[in-house]
Amino acid sequence: MKKLSLGESITGTCMNRCLVVVSRNTSIARMQVHRVMGAVEGIAYEWRGADDWHNVLFTGEADIAVCEAGHLLYPLADGLIVAALLKASQSSQKNLAVVCRSDCADLRGLFYHSDIRNSYGKVWLVGAGPGSADLITLRAIRALAQADVLYYDDLLDPSVRAYCPGEQVHVGKRKGRISHSQDSINEMLYRSVSEGKTVVRLKGGDPSIFGRAGEELDYLRRRWIAVEIVPGVTSASAASAAGLFSLTQRRISRSVTFLSGHSLDDVPHSPDKKTFVYYMAASKLEEVAHNLIREGVPSETPIVLVSNAGAWNEASVYSTVGTMSAIVAQPPALLIVGNVAACASIEKKALFTGIDPDSVKIKEPVVHQPLIMPVSKSETMLSYKTAEPRPTPLDLSYFAAVIFSSPETVDAFEEVYGNLPDRLLCYAFDSATREALRRYKVSPWRIVPCPIRGKFTDGVNRVA
């Protein structure tokens, strides 16, 4: 492994002190972490055992926790992140997960090059909408256009598959016909993504409403695979539109319950098997909690309050029915009550500042805010300047990273945002962009290469 030079004092948790690493399985973990640390000049660290490593990370008593990846429960506690998966040194050993606080960009950058997930692809669980092909969303079309392999269901308009240039595999399940089991579909998705492919699992309607997305998502996320869900128009909405009636209407219908006809022997009305979704409930949390408990919902039932769902600044607050009245919520907010809320995890996103967001292949969800615009073109490359009118700065607390596609995007970021917060990781397309970030005194550990689609050469035909 190539020796890396510290170059300058790194910021954040690593500054001018020894890193503290905690682990239960010290013998195997020491070997793996030493391979990373030993490749870096100027990094000192000490090893400690710890059973409750969550607390020592949050309190700052430790910087890094190392454990077997299979022992981690998803989702992690809010504020923690898997910085890397380290490949087992022997076939009899398990891969290790390196965990740190999500605001420690230097530590995430330090382990970036050792993360075996860099060779993985990404899975998109996509809803195609019901029936007509023109009900598919623009985001779904963009995901299909990037797919190396498409696993698709029955009950889809065949024409939507034309958006996918990659391999196409039918995995539909119909009653009374031989079909793939859910376990085999899960394994196919995992096998393809671990081979580095961008995978789209295409479903009719919305994948999160009776689309088995929960099972596929759980299988993949427990293996720390990057997954995004693209919502679709659900068939209930299409049916009400076709019939020219509204599913909710004042003085007629105040709520909608979605039930599956395939599980009539189950007890859908049991509180522990039901999901309640409340629109426009931010100012009524205490009243909602009282009504739920009166209806027999246990006070320890998980809830998640999602603000600005689907927007760049979407965020979530987790609580229980018994304690949610203490939440101070700002509308617009959506309240979700039920055991499924315990699985919720809204990940921080990466801000892409260039022109073409589809050129990026990273684990984080990407939000596009172009900060540059082309001003001239030669035979080999375009020239750029800061976009006019100057973009309005977004709240960077919603982001885990910023993606820079060229030196011009670095200059434009400085003009629009000022200094880059220390907690943000910096993805850079090429060496010229990395050098531009260093000129603005960005710690070298926070600068990591950005995987991109297609072949790009430094300075020639640069995709900004």
Active site residues: 153, 173, 280
* Burial readout 51-82 (b: 16 or more C-beta within 10 A, e: otherwise): eebeebbeeeebbbbbbbbeebeeeeeeebbb
Q: What is the three-class DSSP state of 14? A: helix
Q: Measured between alpha carbons, how far is 448 from 450 in angstroms, rounded to an integer?
A: 6
Cα–Cα distances (Å) from 283 to 277, 322, 329, in that order, read: 15, 16, 7
CB 429 within 8 A of CB 404: yes
CB 268 within 8 A of CB 256: no
Cis link prior to 391 (omega < 30° from 0)? Answer: no
CB 406 within 8 A of CB 462: yes
Please report which helix (H) or strand (E) contains residue 125, including its range.
strand 122-127
Closest CA to 123 of 191, 213, 198, 203: 198
The type of residue at 268 is P
CB atoms within 10 A of CB 140: 22
Sorted by sequence, the CB contacts under 8 Å of residue 257 that are 6+ apart come out as: none
CB 88 within 8 A of CB 94: yes
